[in-house]
Amino acid sequence: MENMVGKVCLVTGASQGIGKATAIALAKMKATVIMVSFDQGRGEAALKEIKSMSGNENIELLLADLSSRQSIRQLADRFKQKYTRLDVLVNNAGVMKWKQEFTTDGFESTFAINHLASFLLTNLLLDLLKASAPARILNVSSSAQAMGKIEFDDLDSRKKYSGIKAYSQSKLANVLFTYELDRILQGTGVTVNCLHPGVVRTNFGNTGSLFFKISGTLMKPFMLPPDKGAETSIFLASSPQVEGISAKYFVKKKAVNSSPISYDEMTAKKLWEVSTKMTKLS
């Protein structure tokens, strides 16, 4: 366990699954951990549990709806009002929607929560991260990025919707965002990496069809528990071994190649421009 005393860490999706396991580990390292959750009841229960397990009282819960641009901006404002530094940002929150849904801003939910939320929140906190350098940004992607394709003419999947296709696109977007952000951050002392946590035993994606529910139940014994699935996130957030390492895709705490399209700079730049417009980022 690394010593993270004095470090301020923000973890989205921290009330359950991988995010919660990441928050627990960072709390045990004595970091100040700010948990972001959509559900107040689940968030407060996780907050109490993390404090009890870690013996660390420097844990705070912030509520936010990551499908809403307004809520994300309010989250960033609340954070900056209280904290003068940010050492580690873990963009962990994610969803898989088997049925097509749209946010209050009019975007397809999977793309909005999995990509646009991380894009907007990170950019809103970028000045604070730079001021806290050396600082780290982690984007939790998935092996599904290898199947992804950025459909610029149909990012919201309005022409034809597939839960897996929408999810894969959003996870590829995480990787493209990581690599483009690294190019922008050169010389700032802020690193940004992405990762595949493994196939983890959580409630993620459990609202699918009967087939997926049954197959998911059958596969559970072969899936990783959340604390194992969080190991790469924890490693990238805290280990001296990755100090200064940036723009990498990690699996099982090792840097590996992501999909070929993820290295296409023109695609990454176009995605950045489109995301800027969609999030109304000045």
Q: Which amino acid is at 190?
A: V
Q: Which of 158, 161, 176 is nearest to 116 (CA)?
A: 176
Q: Which amino acid is at 64?
A: A
Contact 215, 248 (CB under 8 A): no
Say whether 83 is catalytic.
no
How far is CA 157 from each of CA 51, 81, 99, 174, 183, rounded to the nearest angstrom? 41, 37, 11, 17, 29
Q: Which of 253, 211, 218, 247 is nearest to 232 (CA)?
A: 253
Collapsing DSSP to helix, strand or coil, 108 comes out as strand
Q: Among the options 83, 161, 167, 249, which is catalytic?
A: 167
Active site amino acids: 167
